[in-house]
Amino acid sequence: VTTRYLRERHADDDLLCIGESGLLDQFAEAGLSTTDDVDAADALVASIDRGFDYDDLCTALWALEREIPFIGTDPDVVIPAPERDVPGSGAVINAIAGVAEREPDAVLGKPSDTAIEMVRERLPYPPEECLVVGDRLDTDVALGERAGMTTVLVRSGVTDEAALAASDISPDYVIDNLGEIDRVIGR
């Protein structure tokens, strides 16, 4: 989603990226130009970066002082890891937004309008005939809900019963694990 968005809106820009090597590789493969120069950057892209530190925060702040576009890859503040949840892209984006005292111009990925548009373009079926299955209310289920699709929350992921009860987002179905998906599909 991010690469497509950047190709459509920032194809000729030099992008300053706070993110990991895989993101930079994606940008290079897409023909996007990146820079490490805060004064030459035309836009800042922020994503998960397990090496994110004070220097990165300063770099982002200095680039954004020039009022360039600020783009986040996805809103996931925490993501699952084998032992415990860890900070995700949203944590990096929020840290940068905090020091820059400005919100991102766009946060892509689920459930953004850009992600919904991309999903709809690729599906050969109308939204009401589609099923979105995921373990996050704020991204997976929210995307399906906003796109007019049937939603299934799988409780084996990051959303627990308390989060489900407190949320304004309501999945159409809730299952404990993917082994129960036939309960939904068989309807």
Q: Please check whether residue 35 is in contact with residue 15, taking contact to mean a CB–CB distance below 8 angstroms.
A: yes
Does 3.40.50.1000 match the CATH number of domain 124-185?
Answer: yes
Element housing 17 (H / E): strand 14-18
Specify the pLDDT at position 147.
95
Tokens matching residue 52: 């994110």
The CATH architecture that domain 2-107 belongs to is 3-Layer(aba) Sandwich (3.40)
Shared fold status for 2-107 and 124-185: yes
User: Could you tell me the strand order of the sheet in which 150-154 lies?
Assistant: 131-134, 150-154, 173-175
Global pTM value: 0.88
Question: What is the DSSP track for 27-64?
Answer: HHHTT-EEES-TTT-SEEEE---TT--HHHHHHHHHHH
Specify the pLDDT at position 187.
63
Mean pLDDT, contiguous 10-residue spans, the chain (187 residues) = 95 98 96 98 98 98 98 94 93 99 96 92 93 93 96 87 91 94 84
What is the SS3 assignment for 88-152?
CHHHHHHHHHHHHCCCCCEECCCCCHHHHHHHHHHCCCCHHHCEEEECCHHHHHHHHHHHCCEEE
Specify the pLDDT at position 89.
98
Provide CB contacts within 8 A for 24, sequence distance 6+: 17, 34
Tokens matching residue 161: 């019963």
Structural domain spans, the chain = 2-107, 124-185
Specify the pLDDT at position 3.
95
- 157: DSSP letter: S
